[in-house]
Structure 1
């Protein structure tokens, strides 16, 4: 097949924008990834993989390679293949993105992705108001505020922590473009639009209301501020920019918390309640109401996963058997609350330790911290913010179990790697 370089580049980048913007919708995004793979297979000769690209590709594919290496440890062939299928994007995304690294338009991709996702979520928020007026009335009247974020996420078709991880990254990118707009002295219309998009994306994070996402937006904003303001402006402009950022973030946060008293409760008494009941949640009267989202539940899960992992060193229980074995352990240790709701590990390092033994957490460390290295070497606030976001999110959840974590990280890891390769290529030419 013949195609001009201009048209190939255009189609290639459109695919990247579509994949990024539909990442929160598993089925549409899966089909777009399949289309992206088929498109690149038709022009396989255009792929050029340097040694650095191959090395990066192997790191990105390392969770998949680990599953292949330990495939023999699965009790069920069918479940093992099913688990393997979830990670297959970690092979194709780096192959075709890093193989065409020079074609990736990094800033344009970030801009189109953040704006498209913000508008898409706005559509679903308006739909939520129209389709679920009863829930919105409860929300506006301060009733059952704890369920609102999860109800909205379910209406979109994604788990709340996963949705908010995506939204946190979008909010961080939108903040970057607010700073970019003022640094480039764009006209007032552009500046207002960028501020509005950031305000919307930050509101979404507050509405879904997961603790790690809010924490990561605040940290990400500080990182963007450091890399894009402190390093580029004099003291007076830094103070003015800081004041402006505090007003935007503080204003939105104040208005939201003022109208959402549950948020104060959730981030104080609910989070750290009953810490003396680690591993003994059934001693709490009505644990569903009191500790379902509390830190003590996470720690109880981690304690069980750690104990079970130690019993199955050095190779773990197998990729397909992590959850079943953990649920079985809850029952064996008479932890009926955890068994009833079948809580997964909620920690990616522990999850891989349980599944793959001692090699598991080392692979997670390599996978996540290589992103951090790319950000540090590039001195890029967005890449470092993504690293921090994905690292902390996987301390309290296990996103390399799910499409919305596997494809999300594999895609952006490949994009960051492409940007890094572009910079390296430019530096070598100079």
Structure 2
């Protein structure tokens, strides 16, 4: 926090904060993004239910704190997912509540507060502007040719061009091993070997994994790999769509996009995180279907 306030080493602060609590930064911010979306939902619920002022205030403060921590860890996909999740919650609140004027007033208040937090955060972290513009999209003409960049570990270690270069290599390797892949235990070794075989020394030195769950399973299991991942994740999306539930849909969006830029089925926290909420959502969906069937039979 002192480094943040003094503007020191801002490029690594989010990752250092995540490491200090023993978790990978994208994983931590995936959780935080979902917490923040849920917190916004409870803000609307507290106003809809005419809760006491104290309860409403606690809900708003919890939401603002959750958004602050998303900014603190500051991974790009999590911030984008949180903002889109806010829009989903806001849309469903307007669509399904009887008092859209009150929802709109609450929404405007939330936008003003979020804008204020973001403005204040940018004053202490000016690197964020650079990170989301020039750093993210730098050297895109060097996809697959990162070694041509002077000191790539400094300039593009966390840039989009590095991810795209990894995905390009993973895609090329997976095409060579269709239809069944290289096997579950050989995915990473074969990818690292492919880096060396194609003279991508920077990627080989740091042994970058795929950072994409669909490509990771495509390398390991061939055609069936990404199909299974797609079925699993999009079933969560179907539950949310069928229930018209903003929380379920936001979770689907967060977990789907997180697995486009990372590989959370290789991590215990990713498996447990998705499995727990998938079970809760499926249970809720079944309960609602059972209740509806009973009502139809009674009629």
Q: TM-score w.r.t. structure 1 length? A: 0.67
Aligned to 1:322: 187
Partner of 1:275: 140
Aligned to 2:68: 203
Matches within 5 A, 1:346-357: 346-357=211-222
Match of 1:181 among 46, 65, 68: 46
* CA–CA distance in structure 2, aligned partners of residues 194 and 207 of structure 1: 20
Give the gaps of 5 or more residues in structure 2: none
Match runs of 1:223-242 below 5 Å:
223-242=88-107
Which residue is equivalent to 1:82?
Answer: none
Question: Unaligned 5+ residue runs, structure 1?
Answer: 1-135
RMSD: 1.0
Distance (Å, rounded) in 2 between the aligned partners of 1:180 and 1:373? 24
CA contact (8 A) 2:122 2:128 kept: yes
Q: Which residue of 2 aligns with 1:359?
A: 224
Asked if 2 retains the 8 angstrom alpha-carbon contact of 1:229 and 1:241, the reply is no
- Deviation at 1:238? 3.8
Structure showing greater relative contact order (alpha-carbon pairs closer than 8 Å, 6 or more residues apart): 1
Q: 1:305 aligned to 2:170?
A: yes
User: Structure 2 CA distance, aligned partners of 1:189 and 1:235?
Assistant: 23
TM-score by length of 2: 0.96
> Does the 8 Å CA contact 1:322/1:355 hold for their aligned counterparts?
yes
Q: Map Cα deviations across residues 196-248 of structure 1 (whole Å, 9 max, x no partner).
A: 11111111110000000000110001111111233314453243122112112
Matched residue of 1:227: which SS? helix
Aligned length: 295
Cross-structure match for 1:78: none
Partner of 1:382: 247
Query: Shift of residue 139 of structure 1?
Result: 1.9
Cα distance in 2 for partners of 1:368, 1:286 equals 38
Which of 129, 140, 150 is 2:15 aligned to? 150
Cα deviation, 1:243-262, whole Å, max 9, x if unaligned, reads 11211221111111122101
Counterpart Cα distance in 1 of 2:6 and 2:217 = 43
Find the counterpart in structure 2 of residue 371 from structure 1.
236
Tell me whether 1:170 sits opposite 2:24 in the alignment.
Answer: no
CA deviation vs aligned residue, 1:298-348 (integer Å, no higher than 9, x gap): 000000000000110100011111111101111111111111111110111
Q: Deviations over 1:86-112 (max 9, x none)?
A: xxxxxxxxxxxxxxxxxxxxxxxxxxx
Tell me which of 249, 259, 271 is aligned to 1:406: 271
CA distance in 2, matches of 1:181, 1:237: 12
Equivalent in the alignment of 1:67: none
SS in structure 2 at match of 1:297 = helix
State whether structure 2 residue 131 is matched by structure 1 residue 266: yes
CA distance in 2, matches of 1:169, 1:326: 32
